[in-house]
Amino acid sequence: MNFHVLLGFLLFEPLLAYNVLIISPHFGYSHMKFMGLLADLLLDAGHSVTLFEPLVLDSYKSKKVVSSPNVTRIFYEHDAEGIAYVKKKGDKFFSELWEPTESLTGILDLPNVFIADFQHMSKKIFRDKEMHEMLRSKKFDLAISETFDFTGLYLADFLEIPSVLPVFSAVRLPGPMNALGQDFSSNIIPGAFSKYGDESTIGDRAKNLMSHKLFAYIFNTVFDKQYEWAKEAFGDKARHWEDIVADGTFFLTNGNNYLDFPMMLLPKIVPIGGITMTNDKSILKPLPEEYNKMLSERSSTVFVSFGSVLRSVDMPWRYKESLIKVFELMPDTTFIWKYEEDDKDLSAKLPSNVHLRKWVPQPALLADKRVKAFVTHGGLGSTMEVAYSGKAALMIPVFGDQPINAEMLARHGSALRYNVKDLTDAPKFVSHLKRLTQIPSFAENAQKLSEVLKNPPIDPRQIALKHIEFAARFGKLPNMNSHARKLNFVQYYFLDIAAIIFSCLFVIVYVTSKVVCGVAKFLKGNVKEKSQ
């Protein structure tokens, strides 16, 4: 053996290359982007990567989510029944969510929205034995899938891939975290309708508890329904989603310790937020010339976008009408509005300071100094991008984790949270936008947060890569499972012990009071006898 080769073996640990399956359904671009980044990250580290992409929404098929052509991509399409459903609904998969409901009946019906949209693809994946054998033949070492739609995790578990790693492209999801034994910290993490920090009252904390429980109910109900479909197809081999999550070596989330609310986390929950961001300005594509012209029209530009799931085109007309009034009230500001379809009627009503675009190069646009503020729904992808860009933001959360994301960013002093129902109040909207663009502290705080996020002690991509490789190498590690996951609510919060203590105190007080009363009565009787 060559001396230099022998020396290389002695000095360097041999590279362990793993065969990884990443399951990434097409239903939200920020979710797909997160999973695509993991694929690129693993491929660049020398691993073999297959990206399995169920086309829940065909319109996302052309979206570029991986940069390397060496990632094996498998597009998995609907059957005839699923195609008919998608065509009937069009792109309005989550349009119902634009009409937020605070009634208990409306909230309890939310799981049915997701169940209806997921069921055709989920059932097809569970029943497709030919596809199962194709994936089995690839002999994967590790499977990664998101907990937003549990179909991929049920599939990977059924295929008996040695290590199955659950991830979540947002910050937190109560159900899976509770399945690990993680307290969701209702005392310190605000809910959808409550305040955060010193202004938080006992009423707010009560709302937190209710909000988090309802959030868990919505997704747990969807996961349980998918478990029923998995059992129909897999029989006894289908395991409950809580057991699948608990068996994962880690649970990777898109949280970022320097952006998120401070809270204690179990070692199995690993925040990797920031992996979709980059400090390298050379990677950002230059803005097309048309955007340079727009940004040069006026001294201030505001970017408006409500993401890929909550589309502007699906917004109720009363909201659009109010936004038109906002644009008219701010003639010295240029507005770039991401609007997903050509709409001649709307365009005819817009003032000259508004530009509609079906697609916008969001990272590059937010990186431009001429953009003064971002109006966003507060999805985590957009929240992360605006935080890294150093721009002030007007957060208009509508559903899911968006209200928590809005509070999360607002507490840094770089954003304002705005109630979606107040979209009809144009003067109020204008007042908030002018605060963001005219009060220097918002821009200053945004820049400071950006610098913090861009300079973490450890690169989040390295955190993600090392934990994924560790999971592929060692698989399930039961000794890392917290016993807290087996405790019920009463046991977890020591309510049974508290009940025993209070019961004992009650008995002691009761007995003591009876003894004291008896002694007092006895002494009183003796006094009367002596006086006679």
Report the CATH number that the domain containing residue 50 is assigned in CATH: 3.40.50.2000
345 with 268, same domain: the answer is: no
Assess whether pLDDT exceeds 50 at residue 9. Answer: no
Residues 381 and 340 in one domain: yes
- Residue 204 included in any domain: no
In terms of domains, do 440 and 474 share one?
A: no
Choose the weakest-confidence range: 248-252, 258-262, 432-436: 258-262
In a domain, 222, yes or no: no
| pLDDT score for 264 | 84
Question: Which of 357, 359, 408, 356 lies closest to 386 in space, CA to CA?
Answer: 408
pLDDT value of position 41: 94
| End-to-end Cα distance, the chain | 119
Residues 133 and 248 occupy one common structural domain: yes
Domain membership of residue 226 (yes or no) is no
Let me know whether 417 and 527 are in one domain. no
Min mean pLDDT across 120-129, 249-258, 456-465, 481-490 is at 481-490
Q: Which two tokens stand for residue 190?
A: 């605000």
Q: How confident is the model at residue 79 (pLDDT cuts 50, 70, 90)?
A: confident
Helices (H), 330-425: 344-349, 362-367, 380-389, 402-410
Q: Report, as an integer, the average pLDDT of 97-125.
A: 80
The chain-wide mean pLDDT, for the chain, equals 87
Q: Is the pLDDT higher at 497 or at 100?
A: 497
Query: What's the rounded Cα separation, in Å, for the pair 423 and 175?
Result: 32
Q: Are residues 125 and 64 in the same domain?
A: yes
Same domain? For 293 and 313 the reply is yes
Higher pLDDT, 87 or 26: 26
The pLDDT value recorded for residue 5 is 44
- Residue 202 included in any domain: no
314 shares a domain with 267: no
Place 37 in a pLDDT band, splitting at 50, 70 and 90: very high
Number of domains into which the chain is organized: 3
Q: What was the pLDDT predicted at 97?
A: 72
Across the range 261-270, mean pLDDT stands at 89
Same-domain check for residues 26 and 50: yes
Helix (H) or strand (E) holding 408: helix 402-410
Q: What value, to the nearest 5°, has the Cα angle with vertex 233 and ends 232 and 239?
A: 80
Q: Quick one: 121 and 266 in the same domain? A: yes
Does 216 reside within a domain? no
Amino acid at 221: T
Q: Are residues 385 and 468 in the same domain?
A: no
Pull the structure tokens for residue 231: 């059992």
| pLDDT tens readout for residues 395-424 | 999 887 888 899 899 999 999 999 998 999
Residue 8 lies in a domain: no
| Greater model confidence, 231 or 6 | 231
Judge whether 172 lies within some domain.
yes
Q: Report if residue 190 sits inside a domain.
A: no
Residues 244, 390 within the same domain: no
Amino acid at 164: V
Model pLDDT for residues 282-313, shown as the tens digit of each residue: 456 788 899 999 999 999 999 999 987 778 88
E strands of 107-250, at which residues? 142-146, 163-168
The amino acid at 38:
L
Q: What is the pLDDT of residues 166-216, one digit of tens each?
A: 999 888 888 888 888 887 666 677 776 666 666 777 777 777 778 778 888
**What is the extent of the structural domain holding 146?**
15-97+114-183+240-275+459-486
How confident is the model over 368-386, as a mean pLDDT? 92
Q: For residue 22, what are its two tokens?
A: 């990443």
Domain's final residue, options 438, 454, 470 = 454
pLDDT surpassing 70 at residue 105: no
Alpha carbon distance 161, 153 (integer Å): 10
Two tokens, residue 9: 């073996």
Are the beta carbons of 364 and 284 closer than 8 angstroms? yes
Q: What number is the average pLDDT over the span 250-269?
A: 91
